[in-house]
Amino acid sequence: MNMRPSRLISILTLTVLTSTTMVTTGANAEISAQAAPIGWASQNGGTTGGGGASPITVTSASALSSAISGTTAAVVRVSGTISCSGMLKVGSNKSILGNAGATIDGCGLTLSGSKNVVIQNLSFRDWDDDAINIEKASTNVVVDHNTFTNGYDGAVDIKRASDYITVSWNRVHGHDKSMLLGHSDDNGSQDTGKLRVTYHHNYFDGSGTRHPRVRFANPVHVFNNYYRDNEYGVASTCNGGVLVENNHFDNVDEPTLVGYAGSPAGTLVQRGNLFTGSGSPEASGTVARIPYSYSLESASTVKSSVTAGAGAGKIRP
């Protein structure tokens, strides 16, 4: 794929009105995603993480691992660079929030049967498995305003009947396998009716594939994301159903796919998207109804808002 340099855009202030909150993007922005997430994480009772628990600041892998374990509500603030390997297990009722410059280097976070978790404002790099792995019926999770680069496997992988999840305002760059939804063509008995995820305002910045790659889930909602220089954008397979709306695909070889890499086709509805120097999108069939309220940004403004606001360091959680 031919790579083209992105055009530099200077933005002083940009405000996006959503269905639940006013979000002001930029270096000094605030966002209430922890209190009022948009999308599937707002369902099933909502997602608040550690809520009003007194914050705990951690500066080492051992302290982080201890603070995020168990089910007691906790707000864990990560400070500095934490170097580690493997996967650190995240329990239920946790908010894991990065202070300015907070970085997880070499390892990732895994949620296994965990409920009510917020992961926000962290930079992940050089992970040796996944950066964030959500599995085994984990529910009500928000992954918001994080940056992912140069890892081994998935940046945010969601699988094994996990449900009610929102992935928002993240940036993936210098990495290939971005976001897998459903790990196997043979896992339909567990995944069908689950894996409901909203992906909005993410910046897929030269990342290769899986933005997301979907199996079985219906409906998955992909809106207002900015795709730049990717091999493919969204793939719907294995009877999944994906609504792809008001995104900007910029120099993407295959913006949307119905079926992929030997996996049988799902359904995909694409509408309101902007395609710049990209291939032709595929679409087929219908998708289940989106049950929550939301407001769409025009695809023509997505590049500006997402490049200004996505990733770690753009908010003070």
Structure tokens at 301: 């403004």
Q: Does an H or E element contain 132, and which?
A: strand 132-135
What radius of gyration, in Å, describes the C-alpha atoms of the chain? Answer: 18
**Burial class of residue 134, CB neighbours in 10 A (0-12, 13-18, 19+):** buried
| Beta-carbon contacts of residue 5 (< 8 Å; ≥ 6 apart) | none
Peptide bond into 219 cis (omega under 30): yes
Dihedral of alpha carbons 217, 97, 105, 175, sign: positive
- Closest of 139, 136, 98, 88 to residue 117, by C-alpha: 139
- Counts for the chain of helices (H) and strands (E), in that order: 3, 27
| Beta-carbon contacts of residue 63 (< 8 Å; ≥ 6 apart) | none
CA dist 246 and 204 (Å) reads 15
In the block, tokens 């995020």 appear at: 68
| Residue count of the chain | 317
Active site amino acids: 210
Tally the C-alpha atoms within 13 A of residue 186's C-alpha that lie toward its C-beta. Answer: 0
CA dist 228 and 146 (Å) reads 18
